[in-house]
A and B are shown apart, each in its own frame.
Chain A
């Protein structure tokens, strides 16, 4: 018998765990205990609760692995349209009939506007000196996942690291908490919490010819070349940075834990076996056209329809995910590259965002580069390639056990 989609098995969880936080069923449990109910009635109450609780899309802690949980299949997992609040980004009409002279002139203007500017010095930026405290939320960074590389630790064990190239990040603007709370996004984010500020960071400077005027104007105030990728980072006001501040790989420390956010690999339209892990049907023994299908999608009696969230074939992948608590094993300051232990959501050459971790046991105990890392003005750089103490550096002698 194939594992059909609609079949739900009931498993008895430990009785002690039932009463936790179920306000609507408190009366039921109280009357049962008052009457000194038998074990049978207690169990039937549990069965009744589970039947009704199973319809809710929220994950319940005491459901065991045998239960088919419908929650993730009911949640809207992706959309392909851009947010309504965003301005049009890419130039729509590409076959503009411009004469060669005009095109050349346009390019000269772009050169004059952006390229002939000397890079900003740290001393020119007005950075307020603020104190770091454990509750500070620093900015994150936009990076590109450029592949995986393996390294070895001092005992000779292999460690597979993901290589993240920190692109040319520049701060575009800072939105203080009072203003950010008034925006639609901020209002949702800080509904019942103390508001925090928002730092808009852009990466990957590109030719302005590719973008619309509205999009280029986002960067015009600060005088930056338009960036391909923009990102918002929620920060505490003491970690605010002025516009045009560059953020590099030195923003992070070797040995710290980071969370990496990305969009998972896009698998396209996939069947039920790959998408939901169904077992399908037998390969032989006379199975007629039933090898990778889902089987039944519902019962005839209960509600007499296919329930929303029933697991079926569909689009798989391209979802927002965070891989949390990844340790930074190595930073290359010259090339702005971070080696992070483990894997990161998304395919190679895709854009990811890196933040300081929010896992409580892996947070900073000492102050990191706050609000961000600035290379020393007198040119004496930190080491170019910083390795974690556990790693075997390639230029050092072979390991002898």
Chain B
């Protein structure tokens, strides 16, 4: 039985979920009339599929629109010269195989994660690293993310390939987003913004359907910096306090027309119709895997007792 009253198109769902995911407070989420399920809730209904009525009357299976944010690496590299449907399909099959062994959870830049990797040089053969995700990228099996932490007053960043078989466990300790998609400015920020204790435990989320946005404004160290942050329109950084000529030069160098350039956006993204097809292909398996893990987790503590 479907919980949702009104069936929506993928695009409507996209817009709604975008606003929903960016809700800064819990109260906003309560107001929306069409609650969108997250993978957890959907999984709890034993693999319910959301069906969208086609014009011809045939039911078409459509994945929940949040999948685009939760599993962005399933979308291929948009460069047209390198695209091939068969290869992408085979790659997705391999990705699902790997996901059946290890849980690769939903995370965003700004989330704090702990990764355990098999390491022959470690005393107990496993190395664990905790850090904040400052960037994520890649598509398919090449998907990666960078974790940053400050260890003994030394900033350390590690790039992990998500599908590498050496990774034993990926755990999200705190799931949240920041105001920027890339937190590379933490390299020039005061070290307290990048320090997270290794013994940190996973925090329980109060509201599962909304990923909170941390509106923190980070303080940067005095110049010199690694990049010209004033030219990058950063939201998560405190006022840079630079002389006016920096901002004037940033304005000269800026490309304000890019936000109107539709072809540029088209070339950088996969069209919505294709995204629908891709996620429709993988979502049932992903939901099944999620459900199995949830059942295992619930059974786990009870069986121990």
User: Measuring CB to CB, which residues of chain A are less than 8 angstroms from any residue of chain B?
Assistant: 146-147, 149-152, 156, 158, 163, 165, 332, 335, 337, 347-349, 392-401
A221 to B84, CA, bound (A): 34
Q: Which residue of A lies closest to B102 (CB)?
A: A398
B142 & A348 in contact (Cβ 8 Å cutoff): no
Complex: A393 Cα to B94 Cα, angstroms:
9
Query: Which segment, of B42-50, B163-171, B253-261, faces chain A?
Result: B163-171
Interface-side segment among B117-125, B179-187, B192-200, B271-279: B117-125
Contact A395 B142 (CB under 8 A): no
Contacts A332-B90, A348-B81, A400-B118 given; does A394 touch B125 at CB 8 Å: no
Proximity bits, B91-109, A CB within 8 Å = 1, else 0: 1001101101110000000
Judge whether A337 and B86 touch: CB under 8 Å. yes
Q: Would you give the shortest CB distance from A342 to chain B, in whole angstroms?
A: 17
A378 to B36 alpha-carbon distance, docked (Å): 50
Contacts of B166 in A (CB 8 A): 152, 156, 398-399, 401
CA distance A392 to B161 in the complex (A): 15
What are 9 A-B pairs with beta-carbon distances under 8 A? A149-B140, A149-B141, A150-B142, A156-B164, A158-B161, A158-B164, A394-B165, A395-B101, A398-B101
**Is residue B82 within 8 Å, beta carbon to beta carbon, of the partner chain?**
yes
> B125: which of A146, A337, A349, A401 is its contact (CB, 8 Å)?
A401
Please measure, in the bound complex, the distance between the C-alpha atom of A300 and the C-alpha atom of B65, giving whole angstroms: 72
Given contacts A394-B94, A394-B165, A398-B165, 12 further A-B contacts (CB under 8 A): A146-B84, A149-B87, A150-B141, A151-B141, A156-B165, A165-B84, A165-B86, A394-B95, A398-B102, A398-B167, A401-B119, A401-B166
Q: Please encode chain B, from 52 to 89, with 1 for each CB lying within 8 Å of some chain A CB and 0 for all others.
A: 00000000000000000000000000000110101100
Selected from A151, A395, A401, the residue in CB contact (under 8 A) with B120 is A401
B residues in contact with A399, CB < 8 Å: 118, 165-166
Asked if A337 meets B90 with Cβ closer than 8 Å, knowing A348-B81, A401-B118, the reply is yes
Residues of A within 8 A of B91 (CB): 149
**Central interface residue in B87, B141, B166, by most chain A CB within 10 Å:** B87
Q: Pick from B84, B95, B125 the residue with the most CB of A within 10 Å.
A: B84
A343 to chain B, nearest CB (A): 13
Q: How far is the CA of A342 from the CA of B19 in the complex (A)?
A: 44
Give every chain A residue within 8 A of B142 (Cβ-Cβ).
150
Chain B minimum-CB-distance residue to A399: B165
Which residue of B95, B100, B118, B140 contacts A156 across the interface (Cβ within 8 Å)?
Answer: B118
Query: DSSP majority for the A interface?
Result: loop
Interfacial chain B residues near A396, Cβ < 8 Å: 101
Q: What interface size band does chain B fall in?
A: 20 to 34
- Please determine whether A348 and B165 come into contact, CB atoms closer than 8 angstroms: no
Tell me, in angstroms, the Cα distance from A223 to B267 when the chains sit together.
43
Closest to A400 in B: B118
Contact A395-B97, Cβ < 8 Å, known A146-B87, A163-B87, A163-B90 = yes
Complex: chain A residue closest to B142, CB-CB: A150
Residues of A within 8 A of B161 (CB): 158
The distance in angstroms between the C-alpha atoms of A337 and B140, with both chains bound, is 18
Contact string, B12-54, partner A, CB cutoff 8 A, digits 1/0?
A: 0000000000000000000000000000000000000000000
Residues of chain B within 8 A of A149, CB atoms compared = 87, 90-91, 94, 140-141
Contacts of A393 in B (CB 8 A): 97
The 8 closest A-B pairs by CB, nearest first: A394-B97, A156-B166, A146-B84, A401-B120, A146-B87, A395-B97, A147-B87, A401-B118
Known: A152-B165, A398-B166, A401-B118. A347 touches B87 (CB 8 A): no
A154 to B, closest residue via Cβ: B165
Q: Which residue of B lies closest to A392 (CB)?
A: B165
Cross-chain contact A398 with B168 (CB below 8 angstroms):
yes
A263 to B102, CA, bound (A): 41
With a cutoff of 8 Å between Cβ atoms, the chain A residues found around residue B86 in the complex are 146, 165, 335, 337
Residues of B within 8 A of A349 (CB): 81, 84
A393 CA / B163 CA spacing, docked (Å) = 12
Q: Indicate which residue in B82, B90, B101 contacts A348 across the interface (CB closer than 8 Å).
A: B82
Query: What CA separation (Å) do A122 and B101 show in the bound complex?
Result: 40
Q: Which residue of B lies closest to A397 (CB)?
A: B101
Interchain CA distance A355-B120 in the complex, whole Å: 39
Q: What's the Cα separation between A163 and B141 when bound, in Å?
A: 14
A146 CA / B98 CA spacing, docked (Å): 22
The distance from the CB of B13 to the nearest CB of chain A, in whole angstroms, is 30
Bound Cα distance from A278 to B81, whole angstroms:
29
- Give the distance to chain A from B78, nearest Cβ to Cβ, in Å: 14
Q: Closest residue of chain B to A334, judged by CB? A: B90
Taking a contact as CB atoms under 8 Å apart, the answer to whether B168 and A400 are in contact is yes
Residues of B with C-beta under 8 A to A146: 84, 86-87
Which residues does chain B contribute within 8 Å of A165, judged by CB atoms?
Answer: 84, 86-87
